[in-house]
Amino acid sequence: MLIIKNLKASIAGKCILKGISLNVKPGEIHAIMGPNGSGKSTLAAVLVGREFVEITEGTVTYLGKNLLEMAAEDRAKEGIFLGFQYPIEIPGVSMVNFMKTAVNEHRKFKGLEPLSASDFLKMMREKKELVEIDSKLANRSVNEGFSGGEKKKNEIFQMAMLEPKLAILDETDSGLDIDALRIVANGVNKIKRPDNSFIVITHYQRLLDYIVPDVVHVLYDGRIVKTAGKELALELEEKGYDWIKKEVENNIVA
Amino acid sequence: MNGISEVTERYLQLYKDNIEKISGISSKYINSFRAGAFEKFRELGIPTKKNEAYKYTNLNIFFDHDYKSYFLPVESDFVKAEKFRCDVADLDTHGIVLLNGFYPTINDKLRQLPSGVWVGSLNEAATKFADKIEKHYGKYAKSETDGLIHLNTAMASDGIFIYVPEGVILTKPIQIVDLVQADDDMFNQHRNLIIIEKSAQISLIICDHTLSPHKSLTNAVTEVFVGENAHFDIIRVQNEHNNAGKITHTFIHQEKNSTASSNNMTLHGGLIRNSTYHHLGGDGAESHSYGLFLADKFQHVDNFVNVDHAFPNCTSSQLFKGVLDDMATGAFNGRILVRPGAQGTLAYQKSNSILLTDDAKMDTKPQLEIFADDVKCSHGATVGQLDSEALFYLQSRGINKREARLMLMFGFAHEVIQNIKIEPLRDRMDNLVMQRLKGDLSRCASCVVRCT
């Protein structure tokens, strides 16, 4: 589904990603862990087409197409979704209008007619239940005045509405209490199908108690320095990142 | 003083040429203001950029012009005007048409609505309600600096009179469709007087429309008295063409514990200047001043707000927003005056503008003059572009850039529109603003008047 080869990228002239390769197959959940500043969010930014990141080398192929040449909105319509680490508040733009526009853009892209108002509202209702989001939130402006937890739930709600093929969750667990974390994770698990994939970016192992990854990668200093099964997350939780940092440094010396 | 400007001279001459006719159709009391106002106008003249309150607005583009007529109506004008109807769906109002500043009916110049509210021609009311006119006319529209207010007082010929008796709550809004239609370039001035007695309540919608393509200039004054505990909302919708100049001065005087709001929605116009004066003239009064304007090409929109906290424990807010495209220019001048003794004042002001091009320009000037100590005042002004983070957020959900920009601009504007309490009008404004932002709003399609 997604093949990243030797990806190098920089922000404002500073090299952040120093050669990343990753292969995500349909139905897989990949967790990307790593200490602060290792490049996790930059990787997410590259995948969704943020213009402030400059790609200096490497390729990203998504469903056989060159992802790096696609505009952000086209990536979304092709099925890529980013759950933002810091969702933006947009006063004056209602959630309903926002989601209706987005859903219909996706439908147009697939050659489908726009949803009728009643079908759309029905869909909103179903998805709200799915992710246990408060009904009232949908009547407000996008993220305006939402608590941290509400914003993250709203990201999962949008994901449920847009039914992506590849969802990237950028530290969706940060700032969540245990109940909100459970709701967010349950939402993800309900959306999970055998043919869609997830990249879950997180600091901590606790989200992975609920969303069980197939593969865990450790990103450090712009490189994937370790890849293993879900047990790697537990090991990191127990031992922290220092042993990995040491391992990396020893390797360089060696 | 020396130096009466050439442009001021034009209007002095206009006065001399027309004052006899104008006085002929007005009451003695209204006429008694004219000579004094004329002298004051001669002294102050047409405001130039040297006048602080007009620093960003060049009035000469419209004032330095040879208008062929100063409008005085004939019977056939009225017959035409009576045909106009507003087409805003579900907007149920008591409609009044004002044609070139005149109340355009031949009979029934003053009528009483079932609720007891009187609406009609100011000239007519000046004789029927002489006591009320004498109590309120010319009492609120005062200025030591703005000659245009005096020019209006000197020459205004007619306008709308509304009288809301004590305790009357009018649920249906009153709507004034203020039409300008002439066969030639025309200057006109009207004068409205609205009296809302104690514990009464009305909403007033004023729709400014210029129907004829000729150059026109309107200089209008509205005086409003909001009695104790009374409630008043005024919403002005301006959708004019590039050849139309519109100068409005609205004076809202409030008594104790009253609330009032003003909302100026400017969709289009050649030159627009709205001055709104809120006089908090009693303990515990509350006022809100809103404004939204969308300007492109070479349009210029100027909003001036003056909030006068003359009594303690009053609250005021100002929220003005503009979207400027092409070479359009805008100005916002918001003054808050807290007089000595006006303790417990809360006064807020916010002005935000979005410039869509490098050539668009916005000037904002907050002016806070505070002479009391127990006061909470805040003001903030921003002039900038659309929020690129918000734009990306929308794009990342599959919404293309053009649509995402539209949504953000609409959201920006909606923050002002949402303060309109009359739902069908609010929906209509949302709709008009969306069309206007999309660029597929022609003047005729948007006009609330069906001139068929």
Q: Of the candidates B199, B240, B157, which has an alpha carbon nearest to the alpha carbon of residue B446?
A: B240
The string of pLDDT tens digits covering residues A71-114 is 999 999 999 999 999 999 998 899 999 999 999 999 999 999 99
Please check the confidence at residue B448 and state whether its pLDDT lies above 90. no
- Residue A37 neighbours by CB under 8 Å, 6+ apart: none
- Residue A111 neighbours by CB under 8 Å, 6+ apart: none
Q: Where are the domains of chain A?
A: 2-242
Amino acid found at B184:
D
Amino acid found at B301:
V
Residue with tokens 């053009």: B402
Please check the confidence at residue B1 and state whether its pLDDT lies above 50. no
- Tokens found for residue A216: 């865990």
Q: What is the pLDDT of residue A244?
A: 82
Asked if A90 and B408 come within 8 Å (Cβ–Cβ), the reply is yes
The string of pLDDT tens digits covering residues B415-442 is 999 999 999 899 989 988 888 888 765 5
Q: Phi, psi (5° rounding) for residue A200? A: -105, 115
Please check the confidence at residue B177 and state whether its pLDDT lies above 90. no
3-state secondary structure chain A: CEEEEEEEEEECCEEEEEEEEEEECCCCEEEEECCCCCCHHHHHHHHHCCCCEEEEEEEEEECCEEHHHCCHHHHHHCCEEEECCCCCCEEEEEHHHHHHHHHHHHHHHCCCCCCCHHHHHHHHHHHHHHCCCCHHHHHCEECCCCCHHHHHHHHHHHHHHHCCCEEEEECCCCCCCHHHHHHHHHHHHHHCCCCCEEEEECCCCCHHHHCCCCEEEEEECCEEEEEECCHHHHHHHHHCCHHHHHHHHHHHHC
With contacts defined as CB-CB under 8 Å, which chain B residues touch A158? Answer: 397
- Residue A59 CA to residue B373 CA, distance in Å, equals 65
How far is the CA of A109 from the CAs of A74, B100, B294, B396, B398, in angstroms? 9, 52, 32, 15, 9
Q: State the sign of the Cα–Cα–Cα–Cα dihedral A226, A227, A228, A231.
A: positive
User: Which residue in chain A has the smallest CA separation from B405?
Assistant: A93
Please check the confidence at residue B446 and state whether its pLDDT lies above 60. no
On average, the pLDDT of chain B sits at 90
HSE toward the beta carbon, residue B368, CA cutoff 13 A: 17
Residue with tokens 């923050």: B415
B321-341 mean pLDDT: 95
Is B131 exposed, middle or buried, given 0-12, 13-18 or 19+ CB atoms closer than 10 A?
exposed
With contacts defined as CB-CB under 8 Å, which chain B residues touch A101? Answer: 399, 403, 407
Q: What is the pLDDT of residue A216?
A: 94
- Residue A156 CA to residue A154 CA, distance in Å, equals 5
User: Which residue in chain A has the smallest CA separation from B414?
Assistant: A92
B343-347 mean pLDDT: 97
Query: What DSSP letter does each residue of B384-443 carry, written as one string?
Result: E---HHHHHHHHTTT--HHHHHHHHHHHHHHHHHTT---HHHHHHHHHHHHHHHHT---H
The string of pLDDT tens digits covering residues B221-258 is 999 999 999 999 999 999 888 889 999 999 999 999 99
Q: What is the pLDDT of residue B88?
A: 60
% of chain B surpassing 70 pLDDT: 91
User: Which residue in chain B has the smallest CA separation from A162?
Assistant: B397
Architecture category of domain A2-242 in CATH? 3-Layer(aba) Sandwich (3.40)
**Nearest by CB to A92, which of B396, B404, B411?**
B411
How would you label A136-170 residue by residue, b for 16+ Cβ within 10 Å and e otherwise?
A: ebbebbbbeebeebbbbbbbbbbbbbbebbbbbbb
Show the low-confidence residues of chain A (pLDDT under 50): none
Give the count of Cβ contacts less than 8 A between chain A and B: 75
B379-395 mean pLDDT: 94
Determine contact, residues A102/B399, Cβ cutoff 8 Å: yes
Give chain B's count of helices (H) and strands (E): 12, 21
Q: Which residues of B make CB contacts under 8 Å with A?
A: 387, 389-390, 392-401, 403-404, 407-408, 410-415, 418
Determine contact, residues A80/A62, Cβ cutoff 8 Å: yes
- Residue A62 CA to residue A46 CA, distance in Å, equals 13
Higher pLDDT pick, B243 / B451: B243
ipTM: 0.95
pTM: 0.86
**Distance, CA of B131 to chain centre:** 27
| Smallest Cα distance from A94 to chain B, Å | 8
- Residue A163 neighbours by CB under 8 Å, 6+ apart: A191, A196
| Smallest Cα distance from B324 to chain A, Å | 18
Determine contact, residues A170/A201, Cβ cutoff 8 Å: yes
Asked if A90 and B401 come within 8 Å (Cβ–Cβ), the reply is no
Amino acid found at B161:
F
